[in-house]
Amino acid sequence: MSVIIWHNPKCGTSRNTLAMIRATGVEPVIVEYLQTPPDAATLSRVAAVVGGAAALLRTKGTPAEELGLAGADDATILAAMAVHPILINRPVVITPKGTVLARPSEKVFAILDAALPADFTKEDGEVVHRA
């Protein structure tokens, strides 16, 4: 299994996470989940690992409020995500070592085999120090 990132190129956190993965020498499989949404079973598995569907739910800039998803059960949230992939928070990174919602982007290092070879500067100028 390779490294997979559910990516939105318009999201700074997603771009930073992708760049951090690449900085470790890995070229991940990039899934632009808005164009190619995960199936219901995959969504369910990922939600279970990251703390439930509510943890995977993106509310900012989405129809979550209009759909009444605040406080909804996992099945309702996951069904809404299947219809409206913009509701899926990002970036999700899946590796043989585990799955994370990489918010903040540094969370990705917990599931990568390699560390940063040098300090990394995010788009906003924040420096992530090599471990």
64-75 confidence digits (pLDDT tens): 999 999 999 999
Q: What is the pLDDT of residue 86?
A: 97
Q: What is the pLDDT of residue 130?
A: 83
Q: What ranges in the chain are assigned the alpha helix state H? A: 12-23, 40-50, 53-56, 74-83
Domain count, the chain: 2
What's the pLDDT score for residue 108? Answer: 96
Q: Is residue 129 part of a domain?
A: yes
**Residue 14 domain flag:** yes
Q: Do 67 and 83 share a domain, yes or no?
A: yes
Query: CB within 8 A of 51, min separation 6: which ones?
Result: none
Residue 123 lies in a domain: yes
Segments of the chain scoring below 50 in pLDDT: none
* Predicted structure pTM score: 0.93
pLDDT of amino acid 131: 67
Q: What CATH number corresponds to the domain at position 115? A: 3.40.30.10
- Hey, how many other C-beta atoms are within 10 angstroms of the C-beta on 55? 15
Give pLDDT, residue 1: 61
Indicate whether 38 belongs to any domain.
Answer: no
Helix/strand/coil for 58? coil
Q: Which residues are catalytic?
A: 11
Predicted confidence at residue 23, as pLDDT, reads 95
Domain that holds residue 55: 44-88
